[in-house]
Amino acid sequence: MAKALVQSLAVESFDPRHYRDEYREALMQAVNVKIEGAAVLRASRVEVAPVMDLMEALVASVKAARRGRTARQGATRQARRGS
């Protein structure tokens, strides 16, 4: 199945003329503007959301699962004793 997907997306021959390097074009435009002495416009800073520490989240999840399992086991034991 994976092979069929890759083959369906594969191109017989790669021709780089079919693609544009937009990053290079923008960079060269900024360089040329700077050479001419004009002010180069800077992009505004983008605020990035805080990155979640996956290992910390995994440890917290495991601890919560253990607490839940321990609580369920304790309730089961008490129910057996009470019956």
Cβ contact 40:34 at 8 Å: yes
Instruction: Give the total residue count for the chain.
Output: 83
**Predicted structure pTM score:** 0.37
Half-sphere exposure of 63 (CA within 13 A, CB side): 6
Only one residue has tokens 């021709």, namely 15
Q: What CA–CA distance (Å, rounded) separates 35 from 42?
A: 16
Residue 73 Cα to chain centre, angstroms: 38
pLDDT tens by residue, the chain, 83 residues: 888 888 888 877 778 888 899 999 999 999 999 999 998 778 888 898 888 899 999 999 999 999 888 877 777 777 777 65
